[in-house]
Structure 1
Amino acid sequence: MVRTYDEAVAWIHGRLRLGMKPGLKRMEWMMEKLGHPERRVRAVHIGGTNGKGSTVAYLRSILQAAGYSVGTFTSPYVEQFNERISINGEPISDQEIVELVQVIQPLADELEKTELGGPTEFEVITAMMLYYFGKQNVQDIVLVEVGLGGRLDSTNVIYPLVSVITNVSYDHMNILGDTLAQIAAEKAGIIKPGVPLVTAVKEPEAWEVIAKTAAERKAKLYRLGVDFTVTDWKTTAEGEQFSLATPFAEYRDVRIQMPGAHQVDNAAVAVMAAELLRLGYSFLIDPEHIADGLAAAAWPGRFEQVSGNPLIILDGAHNEAGIRALVETVRAHYPDKRVHVLFAALTDKPLERMIEPLDELADTITFTTFDFPRAAAAEDLAALSSHPHKAVVGDWTAWIDGKKKEAGSDDLLLITGSLYFISEARKLLKKHTKR
């Protein structure tokens, strides 16, 4: 039995040896043993390829502005492991992690002896979260981010008040499928009978699957651009400004501080979800809560400016759609900057399709690697680039230090790729850089 925080986290991470095992049988077994804590969690379930974390941040901020206590379950973490399970943006304590592992570890050992096999790392963390919010510290609402896919994701044991699918694009194709229709079918697995669904899915192939599944399950569907619409959108020095019309209200000239057209979509989806909580479940959310919540929302590692002099931006663009959104945002907000890209990624990503847009954006592009099991070699990444000013570095910390010294007022250092890499870079920059 674990006694300390370090032992608890080491035990959790030790479950990585089991890899990914899609399916709900092990989760259902643990929920039964725990007395079904998931049934006591009032949740919004948030899936999609990109934008899940940002949508959680917007919706949490709106609900907090309205005075609610909000639990969140997100992944991966950026600064510390505990942040995966948070209340009002504050990670739970080290002692609470220890206590949760002490509850779940004996179950994992018992489950390992059955034909189902032991639970994976993500299943263990999900079980910890559901036990925490269902039994130990019940919240007004819990925002649960899907880990991977949806249909067979361990979070899919919940029955939420509202479901959200932000978007569908190519990612984790080795698990979810080779076509948008196949990927959408996995994402659509979180749609529950009679539970309203909010989505910003645009691609016709994916939309057809989402709409068909929602109709079969009699889930009322709210689609961005059809059922709720953004107007008067403009980029500002502080982020974005736009107006939003839902079937129930209109919000004029609201502002967000996270830049990019994709963030406008995420914010609009969060507002629509908040509207459904207000109308369907009597959450007391006023227009000023919407405006204040959107304005205050932030999410680390998403187009995050960590230094102003020199200008350094971190963005966890970890798939093709994320990279393309990043490139559009840089061009919209910093059209006159010389862009110096530092990029690291995981091997199971569509690397060539990610690097091509960066090649077109960057004045220089540098490839590196980092200490992570699936991290791609810097040389392999560089081989996929056609940029005339490409480079490879082993010590990315030295690259950052050097660029910080030589960068001028016209330079932008853009550090992007895997969220795991962004987490490491952020720790370094937050330690040494003052804005």
Structure 2
Amino acid sequence: MVEAAKCTTAEDVFQWMKQGCSEGIHPGLERMEWMCEHLNHPERRLKTIHIAGTNGKGSTSAMVASILKEAGYPTGMFSSPYLSHWSERITMDGEPIPESEFVRWGREVALLTEERAAQGLDRITEFEFWTLVALLYFAREAVPWFVVWETGLGGRLDSTNVVIPLVSVITNVGHDHQGFLGDTLTAIAKEKAGIIKPGVPVISASEDESVLAILREKAKEKKSRFYQMGQDFQTIKRSDEKDEGTSIDFQGPYRHLNDLFIPLVGEHQVKNGATALMICEVLRQFYATVIEEDRIHVGLAGTKWPGRLETIATKPRILLDGAHNREGARALAKAFASYKYEKLHLLFGAGTDKEIKEMLSPLLPYVDTVTVTQAEHPRSQTVFSLADTVRSIQPELEPQVIADPIKAVTQLQNEVGSQDMIVVAGSLFLVAEVRRSLTT
């Protein structure tokens, strides 16, 4: 193993991480709290917007960060996973962390982890490593005015839950990571509600009453003001630009904003946009943040979030979407109506930990062909298992099996009509792999 003290390149740090971090997911805050204490609490030096939720975290985070940057506030962002390059996980005003800074702070985290291990304490996970690097980079080097912080898994025991936020956000609660968060929406909601802090405003776009009841109760317990979409804030759709985005009016408790453009496609992105706007309103109302209306228009319209209903090629159109759970698949199926095409071809791959039947069921009725594939990731489901699932749902739709995603998308490009649409979905790892091949 590369010694932490000898890490001088990003490759050195990654080699150290493979052997120096514990494998897998190990929920709990004890390791993070110990590390933060020994790093002189970088999390206490940051003004954070903490965003959890089954779907929509990334899109909401990107919209908030874009608006705040446009309003003149240097803004950091922590998200996962990345699509094109590892440095995208930690950004400052949209710019990825420089490799030299990743090495600098990665080495410091690695040194402390080795010291911890020498004391007989368990090693941190890779996600905790990334979280700590981000904390150090933002607190000691980049020094943003705000940091938009996306949870990794759940909320209560997620490594990001050491931050002390200005506002806590739970976009929605759906079925994902049941092995860690629970089998029911209420159980998952309780885990995500764990990011709610005493006196810190809470925002949610959830529409499930059982989920909302849990979030309201936790907010009441913590004496936190709770803002619910549809009750405290809402949007009115002005026009649908189909495959370009949506124009909306926003009605909040403190002001109304008209004719805003959300450049991300789909009804679900309207909800994410409304949530982002409500976050900005809370910052403006309670934290003396000056966000002029014209800056909101420009910032929102300028949002970029790749891999979410992203058109990456035309003739035929290739649409990438990171839908990786049943709710995401339903949103994708609903979004098909926003596009014009002659035939629809689905290229699908998913992880072994996903509810694959529940993901495929809303999609298959819309498609003319389906090709199953397997991303280069250890948790990817085999193509044979995926093919069997397709047959069990829709026996008349015989799936094409091409294990290599790049070969699969290339073959589809060559075979389908120029007015057809190819949709790549089921896994962010699959979307990332295909996206890299089509943009390099």
Given that 1:111 and 1:119 are in contact with CA atoms closer than 8 Å, whether structure 2 keeps it comes out as: no
Counterparts in 2 of 1:13 and 1:87: CA distance versus 1, 3 Å: farther
The amino acid of 1:273's aligned partner reads I
1:261 to 251, 261, 267: 267
**Alignment match, 1:252:** 258
Pairing of 1:58-77 with structure 2 (within 5 A): 58-77=63-82
Pairing of 1:297-312 with structure 2 (within 5 A): 297-312=303-318
**CA offsets per residue over residues 283-322 of structure 1, 9 Å max, x none?**
1101111111111112010111001222011001011101
CA-atom RMSD in angstroms: 1.3
Q: Distance in 2 between matches of 1:23 and 1:354?
A: 29
Q: Distance in 2 between matches of 1:233 and 1:117?
A: 54
Q: Distance in 2 between matches of 1:356 and 1:363?
A: 14
**Alignment match, 2:55:** 50
**Alignment match, 1:190:** 195
Pairing of 1:297-376 with structure 2 (within 5 A): 297-330=303-336, 332-334=337-339, 336-376=341-381
- Deviation of the 1:409 alpha carbon: 3.2
The amino acid of 1:243's aligned partner reads D
**Alignment match, 1:379:** 384
Given that 1:71 and 1:88 are in contact with CA atoms closer than 8 Å, whether structure 2 keeps it comes out as: yes
- Deviation of the 1:134 alpha carbon: 1.5
1:160 and 2:172 are equivalent in the alignment = no
Given that 1:239 and 1:260 are in contact with CA atoms closer than 8 Å, whether structure 2 keeps it comes out as: yes
Q: Secondary structure at the match of 2:363?
A: helix
- Deviation of the 1:233 alpha carbon: 4.5
Given that 1:25 and 1:116 are in contact with CA atoms closer than 8 Å, whether structure 2 keeps it comes out as: no
> May I ask how many residue pairs the two structures share in their alignment?
430
- Deviation of the 1:402 alpha carbon: 2.0
- Deviation of the 1:17 alpha carbon: 4.6
Unpaired segments of 5 or more residues in structure 1?
none
**Alignment match, 1:280:** 286
Q: Which runs of 4+ in 1 moved over 3 A?
A: 13-17, 113-116
- Deviation of the 1:15 alpha carbon: 5.2
- Deviation of the 1:13 alpha carbon: 4.2
Given that 2:21 and 2:123 are in contact with CA atoms closer than 8 Å, whether structure 1 keeps it comes out as: no
TM-score of the superposed pair, with normalisation by structure 1 = 0.96
Counterparts in 2 of 1:15 and 1:148: CA distance versus 1, 3 Å: farther
1:410 to 408, 412, 419: 419
Q: Distance in 1 between matches of 2:347 and 2:405?
A: 8
Q: Distance in 2 between matches of 1:323 and 1:274?
A: 29
Given that 1:86 and 1:92 are in contact with CA atoms closer than 8 Å, whether structure 2 keeps it comes out as: yes
Pairing of 1:82-231 with structure 2 (within 5 A): 82-114=87-119, 116-231=121-236
TM-score of the superposed pair, with normalisation by structure 2 = 0.95
Q: Distance in 2 between matches of 1:319 and 1:98?
A: 34
**Identity of matched residues, %:** 42
- Deviation of the 1:391 alpha carbon: 1.5
**Alignment match, 2:23:** 18
Counterparts in 2 of 1:14 and 1:303: CA distance versus 1, 3 Å: farther
1:397 and 2:406 are equivalent in the alignment = yes
1:422 and 2:394 are equivalent in the alignment = no
Unpaired segments of 5 or more residues in structure 2?
none
Counterparts in 2 of 1:116 and 1:206: CA distance versus 1, 3 Å: farther
Q: Secondary structure at the match of 2:362?
A: helix
Counterparts in 2 of 1:370 and 1:45: CA distance versus 1, 3 Å: same
Q: Distance in 2 between matches of 1:235 and 1:16?
A: 47
**Alignment match, 2:247:** 241
Given that 1:363 and 1:389 are in contact with CA atoms closer than 8 Å, whether structure 2 keeps it comes out as: no
Q: Secondary structure at the match of 2:239?
A: strand
Counterparts in 2 of 1:16 and 1:422: CA distance versus 1, 3 Å: farther
Q: Secondary structure at the match of 1:142?
A: strand
